[in-house]
Amino acid sequence: MRHYLDFEKGLAELEGKAAELRALAARNPAMDVRDEAAQLDAKSRKMLGELYATLDPWAKCQIARHPDRPRALDMIEALFDEFTPLAGDRAFAEDAAVVGGLARFQDRPVVVLGHEKGRDTRSRLTRNFGMARPEGYRKAVRLMRLADKFGLAVITLIDTPGAYPGKGAEERGQAEAIARATEACLALGQPLVSVVIGEGGSGGAVAFATANRVAMLEHAVYSVISPEGCASILWKDADKMREAAAALRLTAQDLMKLGVIDRIVPEPLGGAQRAPLEAIAETGRAVAAMLADLDGKDAAALRADRRRKYLEMGRKTLG
């Protein structure tokens, strides 16, 4: 069963009709529906193209949160070999919202880290919908230090609504944990590349994405605050999220113009959720290209490169 977004209603009808027709034909072998179904297919394909050519920022937010989009673990499974998860912050707990460990990317041993939102109700609860607690950031710091010690590049996959606004998370100092993770990103003497694969939610994202190179999937979003949160504060009306989404300039396309990201990973027609394997393969190509970009740079050069990138940020504005 395909999960349709609000703005895909017309498409859902067309595709539903085609499916119904085919089901009917399957039950009545005498019926020939091929032409009619093919016509419907062509129509829905055209509609899909039109819809995805004119997405507004709020529609992108919905796509970025789509339950069928490839998750960090899908990406890791498909793009990495010998993935060996490493757990725990050595202080309090393991945080299942953050996956990470050793793995091979195109034979090269690396540390991979990502937010994992989960795929079904149960795993979503276990993964806390990809919202890290302090332990997740502290685990990330530990793994980044491990990478530094053994000369491994770090690849991070960003997909989080943001930090977890919970009592325990605050008690255990999530602000400090985020600050230390950002600091660890900047201090890393190995290549660090990030891909925002879905939602890049505020401090929770920045803590892993302060990288040498940052890519975003074509329909991913990256923002200081959710459009709903922004709308309720600035518009005093959470229903103004469409306006807020547009004002925040959170799309990959705008962030590229602003110089915040370095690369956009193209998604298949209809978004990564329609053809996850294609999107994953494109992501792999982007990661490889970003790593190649950093080849031959020593620790000092990598740190200087990262620092320069963030210091220069803000020079490009949207005219």
Partner 1 sequence: MSDSGYGMNWLTDYVRPKLNSLFSRRDMPENLWRKCDNCGQMIFHRELSEALHVCSNCNHHMQISPRERFNALFDGGAWIETPLADAPADPLKFRDQKRYPDRIREARANTGEHEAMLVARGEISGLTTVAACQNFAFLAGSMGMAVGDALLAAADAAVAAKAPLVVFCAAGGARMQEGILSLMQMPRTTIAAQTVAEAGLPFVTVLTNPTTGGVTASYAMLGDVQIAEPGALICFAGPRVIEQTIGEKLPEGFQRSEYLHEHGMLDRVTHRHAMRDELAVILRMLMRAPRRITGDLPAPEAQAADAARAG
Q: Which residues in this chain contact partner 1 in the complex, by CB under 8 A? A: 162-167, 169-176, 178-180, 182-183, 185-187, 202-203, 206-207, 210, 222-226, 229-230, 233-236, 243-244, 247-250, 255, 258, 260, 307, 310-311, 313-315, 317-319
Q: How far is the CB of 195 from partner 1 (least distance, A)?
A: 16
88 vs 314, beta carbon nearer partner 1: 314
Do 69 and 271 contact (CB within 8 A), yes or no? yes
The residue (of 13 and 183) whose beta carbon lies closer to partner 1 is 183
**Shortest spacing between CB 182 and partner 1, in angstroms:** 5
Cβ partners under 8 Å of residue 246, min gap 6 = 56, 57, 58
User: How much of the chain is in helix, strand and coil states, percent to nearest 5?
Assistant: 55, 15, 30
* Residue 261 CA, distance from chain mean position: 13
Helix (H) or strand (E) holding 147: helix 134-150
Q: Is the dihedral of CA 142, 148, 149, 153 positive or negative?
A: positive
Q: Which residue, 79 or 178, is less far from partner 1 as judged by CB?
A: 178
Residue 266: CB minimum distance to partner 1, A: 21
Paired residues of 155 in beta bridges = 112, 193
Task: Give dist(CA 185, CA 180) in Å, integer.
Answer: 9
Nearer to partner 1, 22 or 145 (CB): 145
Specify the residue, 74 or 159, whose C-beta has the smaller distance to partner 1.
159
CB of 237 to partner 1, least distance (A): 9
- We find the least distance from the C-beta atom of residue 89 to partner 1, in angstroms, to be 15
